[in-house]
Structure 1
Amino acid sequence: MKKKFKKYLYMLAAATATLTSCKKDFLDIQPTHLVSDVSILADSMLFQNYVLNRYLGVKLSGNEGEGSPPGFGRAFEYAMLSSITDESMANHDDNTWLIQRGQLAPENTGMAGTIWARSYRSIREVNYALTNIDKVNMSSGNKNRLTGELKFIRAFRYHDLIRNYGGAVLVGDKVTSLTDDLQDPSLFKRSTIKESIDYAVAELDDAAQRLPLNNDNSWVLGRATKGAALALKSRLLLYAASPLYILANDPSAKPNYANGANTSDPTRWQAAAAAAKAVMDLNKYSLYQGGYRQLFLSQDNNEVIFQRLYTKNARHVPMELNNGPNGYNGWGGNVPLQNMVDAYPMSNGKLITDPTSGYDPQNPYVNRDPRFYATILFNGASYRGSTVETYTPGGKDSQEGPSNWNTSKSGYYLRKFMDDNNPIDNPWEVAGFQPWIYFRYAEILLNYAEAQNEAAGPDASVYNAINAIRSRASVNMPDLPLGLNKEQMRAAIRAERRIELAFEEHRFYDVRRWTIAEVTENIPAYGVTVTRSGNTFNYNQKVALSGRRFDPQHYWLPIPRFEIQASGGQLTQNPFY
């Protein structure tokens, strides 16, 4: 075999090392913690467990172990994807600042460095199962449903590749091994974005036909359903209709992303609207009415379409310890930026920049959108029987408080996802069980509203979708004003999406697909300085993280340089890198 080979192909092949038998040799020792492929294919329960374990691979980045699960820990351990956007910053860096500062390069990929290899490893593991499923002694019904799960997981992996890199290398059902010719040029040929999305959507259509509508006693909570497959299709087709995906369809091209605002294809928007409507027409999902904050702590409610669940043996990072204020012995991990705080409108629906909104810059947290209070901790916020104090002098959550190295650099702390029933001190045995929601019904309504507005204008169905989100219990925001034109509705939908889906890993991809990142990501990362004089607080804007920068090449992640080199230069790098 040639000595040169692609690292991701090596990882894909190595992933089966645990499933392969070797020739018996005097020195061969069978590890007790590994299961051979012979055993897996001979036992239907072992095979099903192999399939279920593939869900653990539906991750974007992070360490190989359970210390960095999806959503709650994307970087080396604790940083969230929001901290490489204008939503938040990682207080202790966690390999995110270089991305915020525009230093991302093929040789230096920061917290995003493992997406390519991890995705192809997972695809290879799925391919192994799909290739061998007919050898397993089980009913045709079980095989059909497991095949649907595997196709969904593989499509999820391709969706991660597409939204981060653009055109993917489509490997089909091939199971690569170390004995293959890993210098075969076909192994490195990148398809266009359209070809990649068409492939993933076809897989999801197939999966949706095989998967059950409901989780029940035989299909436990957390496994993919028909709704999960259709929700992923909805997201993919929304992306496919967005300006970035039209401009950058050819992976070898160098498009002018600044022209994105003028790029539109009504037929793509129609397809995206129809995909979202297909989820709505299942009549299975609804907006959770039990409180916006509680939505993210509940393991079973009608808004959740697909989620990652956690157990005592597989927890995520303790959110309360990681993100809590330093005055409560928290580490201040992912701290919201002033950029995000200023995006929340007043409770009357008006932006704070509107002189008629009632906004007072010296009393800035009064009468804001209720989702603000469920998402962000600010000076004066009630928290755990006390009050957050980010002011100086003397505020317990400022740099003058305890553990001052954990003081928020932005002047804010994260509230969303935090469970007050969990301890901050010594949380290791009782915390880290909040589910991570990949898809929920509010996203589908937002997908539909955006696509339908672009395809047909702001008709009644667009208003209904957005107003349903705004008017649900615990939010109670006023309906959008009537008479908006397409451009005004577009701005309203984007603003609603930013608020409703804050910190849920949408902003990073949204500003890119809309081709507005050269504006939003070049705005400094702002925070607030709060000073107290008697009973009066003064609020002044500051720069929380210096040097924030975004260049055109950053619309897509770079493929790591070692991947390009290992392919002998056959793998095409993204534009401008």
Structure 2
Amino acid sequence: MIKKLSVSLSIAAMLAGMLGCSQNFLDVVPTDRVSDPSILSDSVLFESYVINRYMGTRLTDKEAEGTLPGFGRGFEYAMWSSVTDESIYNNDDNTWLIQRGQIAPENTGIAGTFWGRSYRSIREINYALANLDKVPMSAGHRSRLKGELKFLRAFRYHDLIRNYGKVVLLGDKVYELSDNLTDPALFQRSDIKSGIDYAVAQLDEAASLLPATTDNGNWKLGRATRGAALALKSRLLLYGASPLYNASTWQAAAAAAKAVMDLNQYKLYSGGYGALFTVTNSEEVIFSRIYAIGARHVCLEIANGPNGYNAWGGNVPLQNLVDDYEMIDGTSITETGTSFNPNDPYKNRDPRFYATVLYNGAAYRNSTVQTYTPGGKDSKDGPSNWNTSKSGYYLKKFMNDNLPIDNPWDVAGTQTWIYFRYAEILLNYAEAQNEASGPDATVYAAVNSIRKRAGMPDLPAGLTQTQMRDRIRHERRIELAFEEHRFYDVRRWKIAPQTESVPAYGIEVGKNGNTYTYTRKEALTGRTFADKQYWLPIPRAEIQASNNQLEQNPGY
């Protein structure tokens, strides 16, 4: 990785005062780093510096062991789904306190790195932008790198806004450690609208500078394109129009999503919903990051597979999510006339269920998942029983059955992690257009195309705006499960008091001869939500380092 010590010092470190370094120490030129003059005189080194801005530094234990965290999937053990009603992390990993509403500025669990990592990255990007014109390269190459840096900076602000609400906007200034004593702007949080407007403006500029595809016509190599910038703009404006933010319009959000659709560059993957997350290239992917082969502890199969396969049973789906999968005929399991059979609960469900969740009786790796007791190999009666799922389910989505579970090092963990895909854009458009104009034909077309790909029937005709709103929210829950959307969706819709205060349910499967029984259970006790949890707390160290000038979020 190409860095210089002074370049690596982030605004987050300045705010927190965590380095505790003297100026004399900072003046020492380390022998294992590349100096400023070297980076700024060599276009290859400078581009490597820009590419490294797609990654972040490791800030907590068990985070990104072997591979530095990107924008997401920095949670190698617990996924972000496990602080929602999608899943729980079987062995806690600092997630249970968030599920139980116990998060605090002094104890942020796995949610404590967004502030520090984002501001550190913003400073590093500002450094690159401030020096870009000094580096010898063609005008076209310079424009592309500028577009990438603008995209990266907007992404970091997007992560700050969706987690903290009001953020500190630093502009283009490259802050130094001494500035925390002289520049009060370091601690002034702008309102949410100003934050979104700034990031959107950056993305408009980025989109004008970025190419349609990356090298060799392939837009899957993990670097920003015009589509990536417009996709992030779509997400930001959708959030901004939502009830929690109230900082932009539904019309603007719909137009932003339509701009991505009108590129005519992306379409829904035709090779199957489940395969989408294991193939390297797909026409649905707008922006993704490739993870390193040989990096230990990024192997999703061993981290999340059933204990009967010697896996760790990490992020286990909840009954809360399982119950929301429709029947294959499009009915819910609770409505009148449903074909749902509580004695055979996994039969004839939405095909995305089978691509997302491993359940008792599911075919898996030339065998069958057995969560039943007594005697099921994937229950507490099986091997490695300390890894037995507390919910009675295991995660299927993202897993590549062709990769090993036993001794996966240097082989597994190779899946590309998708940050933006076309299905999200279609759902963004449908939601925003429905809110702006009601359930017109374009709204139906967007949602139904996703359902058709999944093998589900079209939505019924004649839905009201409210009914369509509920159906779109349901579709996001199912289609985007485990992709780091649910945490933010239930908050921006302001339904978190209902979804996040419901118990974390699981299932107890009993077996008597050839008969199975299914008994609902509580997989994690104490799950609750308070209004202050609409936003994360800023870590206490950041507040203290600002001499209490930095405003904490309400309720903390």
Considering the TM-score relative to the shorter chain, is it more than 0.5? Answer: yes
Report whether the alignment pairs 1:520 with 2:499.
Answer: yes
Spell out, residue by residue over 1:167-203, the C-alpha distance to the aligned partner (whole angstroms, 9 max, x if none). 1100001111123343522111000000000000000
Report whether the alignment pairs 1:10 with 2:6.
Answer: no
- 1:299 deviates by 1.6
1:12·1:121 contact (CA, 8 Å) conserved in 2? no
The residue number in structure 1 matching 2:111 is 112
Q: 1:422 to 1:71 in 2, by over 3 A?
A: farther
The residue number in structure 1 matching 2:545 is 566
* Residue type of the alignment partner of 1:509: Y
Report whether the alignment pairs 1:322 with 2:303.
Answer: yes
Q: 2:439 aligned to 450, 458, 463, which one?
A: 458
The residue number in structure 2 matching 1:152 is 151
Q: Percent identity?
A: 66
- 1:22 deviates by 7.0
Report whether the alignment pairs 1:491 with 2:470.
Answer: yes
1:553 match: secondary structure: helix
- 1:10 deviates by 2.4
1:130·1:147 contact (CA, 8 Å) conserved in 2? yes
Q: 1:335 to 1:440 in 2, by over 3 A?
A: same
2:243·2:494 contact (CA, 8 Å) conserved in 1? yes
* Residue type of the alignment partner of 2:194: E
1:231 match: secondary structure: helix
2:404 match: secondary structure: coil
* Residue type of the alignment partner of 1:391: Y
Report whether the alignment pairs 1:44 with 2:23.
Answer: no
Report whether the alignment pairs 1:352 with 2:356.
Answer: no
Spell out, residue by residue over 1:100-158, the C-alpha distance to the aligned partner (whole angstroms, 9 max, x if none). 00001111100001110000000000000000001101111111000000000000000
- 1:354 deviates by 1.0
The residue number in structure 1 matching 2:408 is 427
Spell out, residue by residue over 1:35-75, the C-alpha distance to the aligned partner (whole angstroms, 9 max, x if none). 11110001010000000111113999873654573588544
CA distance in 1, matches of 2:254, 2:229: 16
- 1:30 deviates by 4.2
- 1:217 deviates by 2.5
CA distance in 1, matches of 2:541, 2:229: 33
- 1:214 deviates by 1.1
Equivalent residues in 2 for 1:141-290, closer than 5 Å? 141-217=140-216, 221-246=221-246, 268-290=249-271
Q: 1:154 to 1:59 in 2, by over 3 A?
A: farther
Spell out, residue by residue over 1:500-557, the C-alpha distance to the aligned partner (whole angstroms, 9 max, x if none). 0000000000000000000000000000000000000000000000000100000000
CA distance in 2, matches of 1:313, 1:156: 28
Equivalent residues in 2 for 1:434-453, closer than 5 Å? 434-453=415-434
Q: 1:557 aligned to 529, 536, 548, which one?
A: 536
Q: 2:394 aligned to 385, 388, 413, which one?
A: 413
CA distance in 2, matches of 1:58, 1:148: 22
The residue number in structure 1 matching 2:523 is 544
CA distance in 1, matches of 2:472, 2:57: 28
Q: 1:470 to 1:315 in 2, by over 3 A?
A: farther
The TM-score, its normalising length taken from structure 1, stands at 0.90
1:345 match: secondary structure: coil
Aligned residues: 543
Q: 1:386 to 1:214 in 2, by over 3 A?
A: same
2:150·2:202 contact (CA, 8 Å) conserved in 1? yes
CA distance in 1, matches of 2:199, 2:471: 30
The residue number in structure 2 matching 1:262 is none
2:373·2:510 contact (CA, 8 Å) conserved in 1? yes
Report whether the alignment pairs 1:404 with 2:385.
Answer: yes
- 1:477 deviates by 0.4
Q: Which runs of 5+ in 1 are unaligned?
A: 250-266
* Residue type of the alignment partner of 1:554: Q
- 1:357 deviates by 1.4
* Residue type of the alignment partner of 1:114: T
2:16·2:545 contact (CA, 8 Å) conserved in 1? no
CA distance in 2, matches of 1:145, 1:561: 38
Q: 1:208 to 1:498 in 2, by over 3 A?
A: same
1:214·1:225 contact (CA, 8 Å) conserved in 2? yes
Q: Which runs of 5+ in 2 are unaligned?
A: 1-8
Q: 1:535 aligned to 469, 490, 514, which one?
A: 514
The residue number in structure 1 matching 2:554 is 575
Q: 2:366 aligned to 351, 366, 385, which one?
A: 385
CA distance in 2, matches of 1:65, 1:38: 31
CA distance in 2, matches of 1:338, 1:59: 33
Report whether the alignment pairs 1:69 with 2:48.
Answer: no
CA distance in 2, matches of 1:383, 1:305: 30
2:65·2:296 contact (CA, 8 Å) conserved in 1? no
Q: 1:146 to 1:368 in 2, by over 3 A?
A: same
2:269·2:283 contact (CA, 8 Å) conserved in 1? yes
CA distance in 2, matches of 1:288, 1:64: 29
Q: 1:312 to 1:11 in 2, by over 3 A?
A: farther
1:317·1:432 contact (CA, 8 Å) conserved in 2? yes
* Residue type of the alignment partner of 2:264: N
CA distance in 1, matches of 2:542, 2:340: 51
- 1:317 deviates by 1.1
- 1:312 deviates by 2.5
CA distance in 1, matches of 2:463, 2:59: 37
* Residue type of the alignment partner of 2:445: N
The residue number in structure 1 matching 2:458 is 479
* Residue type of the alignment partner of 2:12: Y
CA distance in 2, matches of 1:80, 1:316: 13
1:307 match: secondary structure: strand
CA distance in 1, matches of 2:57, 2:11: 20
* Residue type of the alignment partner of 2:546: S
Spell out, residue by residue over 1:286-307, the C-alpha distance to the aligned partner (whole angstroms, 9 max, x if none). 0000011110011211100000
Q: 1:218 to 1:133 in 2, by over 3 A?
A: farther
CA distance in 2, matches of 1:496, 1:364: 20
The residue number in structure 2 matching 1:53 is 52
- 1:334 deviates by 0.2
